[in-house]
Every structure is written in structure tokens, then in C-alpha cells.
Amino acid sequence: MKSDIVMHGTTILGFHRKGKTAICGDGQVSLGDTIIKANATKIRKIYNDKVIVGFAGATADAFSLSEKFEEKLKATKGNLRKSAVELAKEWRADKYLRRLEAMLVAADASGILMISGVGDVLEPEDGFVAIGSGGSYALAAARALARNTKLSEAEIVKQALIIASEICVYTNDKFILEEL
């Protein structure tokens, strides 16, 4: 039996500029129109705290992908881009991984990437990556803040998530923020 109830509830926003990176995510997980959890942790540092990852999608799937990504980082001695491409290739080809429903944002001092299960590894030209239910709202707010203020990367992503939480019903104001 297929359920018509859809799980929502993640907004992840990352910004990389001039060697500095900040990723912020909210804590809400919703099932249909019900908030299941308000303080989920969707951002964490991996690879000896040199890489930040954030995820949207099914939690168990995202943790599986995060662990796989860390394995790729170890195998490539921390090469963010090569690890992301290797993860995306395996994600597309592996019978088990192919079914995982999640997206990752990954960043280090050299840049920021969005990695998806359809094989995409995207590096934004403006340094912003946003995923999840409120991602478009957060991205628009962040771009506006970056153009019109001298806020730090961390301040921009946090303020943008505050704005997204005021618009998107699947985004709350319980944030986790990590910086490099």
C-alpha cells in the first residue's frame, strides 16, 4: 500500500566565498501537515572536521550517503570534487544506493557542492547552494543579503534561514550552523 503522505521538512543553505564556508540547516521534520520533530540535526562536520555536509531527504538515506561520502574523502585524501564525483557515480550505478532519497551539500575550504542521486555534482558560480523544502526561499534571501550587506558568510546563511522559516511551513527556526 502506497501512502499519499509526503515527508517534508528541511532547509539547508550553504555559502562559500573567499575560502570561508558556512552551512546552516533548520531542524524541522514533517509528515504531511504534522511536525514530527523540531530539532533534527542535518548538518555535521566530517573528515577530521575539514568538510561540512548538510542533507535533505530521508534521514537514514542521508546518513548512509554521508558515510559513503566520508569513505570517498578518505580514499581521495580529502579531494572534495573527486570524492563528490565518485559518490555520484556509485550512487547512480549501485542497485541499493540508487533507491536512496536524499541530497547532499558538501563543502570545504576550497568550495561548495550539491550532490544528487541523479548523478549531479554542481558547484555554484555565486557560492550559494540550497536544498530542501525551503531552499528556494533561503537562496533568494541569501543572494539579496550578500548583495546589499557586509555580513559574514555565517550571518548571511543564518539570516536567510530566518527569512525562509517565516515563509515556508516546512522550515523552522531551530538552526544548526557550521563554519570552516
Do residues 102 and 62 make contact, with C-beta atoms less than 8 angstroms apart?
yes
Choosing from 10, 11, 21, 171, which is the catalytic residue?
10
Phi, psi dihedral angles at 87 (to 5 degrees): -65, -45
Q: Give which of 129, 120, 123 is closest to 111, Cα–Cα.
A: 123
Q: Read off the C-alpha cell for 91.
A: 550512487
Helical axes 135-148 vs 153-167, angle rounded to 10°: 140
In a 10 Å sphere around its CB, with 0-12 CB exposed, 13-18 middle and 19+ buried, how is residue 31 labelled? middle
Q: Tell me which amino acid residue 1 is.
A: M
Judge whether 10 counts as a catalytic residue: yes
Q: Give which of 94, 103, 144 is closest to 122, Cα–Cα.
A: 103
Active site residues: 10
